[in-house]
Amino acid sequence: MIRNVLGSLMGLIGATAAVWSPFRAWYDGRHGRDYRIQDLFTPTGVTGHGSTLLLSLFLPCLIAALLTVAAVLRRSRLLMALAGVVVLGFAVLWMVRQGQAAGSLTVGSDGKGLGDGVASAFGAGALILLGAAVMRGRPRRRTRALPPTTTAPEPTPGGPTTPPDEPRPPHPQQDHT
C-alpha cells in the first residue's frame, strides 16, 4: 500500500510539472504554449507562428496528466508509464524538430537556448515513469484451487470406453493394398 501511495504521489507531482512546463520558456524565451503541435509533424518543422493553448505543447502534457490521474485511480502501472512516455516523447520530438529548425540546440543562462520549461517536461516525464516503477499496482485475484478428485473421469462421447487404468486392446492392422 505504501508503494502505491508513494508512486501515486510521484506521478501526480510529475503530472503537475508536465502541465506547468508549457507556461515556461522552452527555447530563446519562447514558451511551450507558443509551439504548435502540428509543427512537430510537418516537413517545415518548428516555425515562428504562435498557437492557441489547446493546439500547443500544452495538449500532450494535459493528456499525460489526465492519464496519470486515471492511473492513480485505477492503480495502473501501465497507464502511468504510458503518461510518462507521452511527456518524454513529445519533449524529445520537440527537441529534434527545434534542432532541425535552428540548426543546433544551445544551452545558455542568459535566456538564449534551451529554457527551464523543457527541463521541467523531461523531469516530469522521468518522475511519472519513476512513479510507475515504484507503484505495486492492483493486487491480482487469486483463484481458489479445487480439491483433487478421487473418482475416475467419466468417458467422453466418442472417446475411449475403457477406464484409464485398464490397458487398451491393440488396434487391428488394416491392409491397404
Residue 66 grid cell: 489526465
Q: 32 and 24 in contact (C-beta within 8 Å)? A: yes
DSSP 8-state code for residue 139:
P
Decide: 90 and 60 in contact? Cβ < 8 Å. yes
Q: List the pLDDT tens digit at each of the 177 positions of the chain.
A: 899 999 999 999 999 999 999 999 998 888 989 999 998 898 887 887 888 888 899 999 999 999 999 999 999 999 999 999 999 999 999 999 988 888 888 877 676 788 899 999 999 999 999 999 999 877 777 777 666 666 666 666 665 555 556 666 666 666 666
Do residues 31 and 25 lie in contact, with contact meaning Cβ atoms separated by under 8 Å?
A: yes
Q: Residue 31 gets which letter from DSSP?
A: E
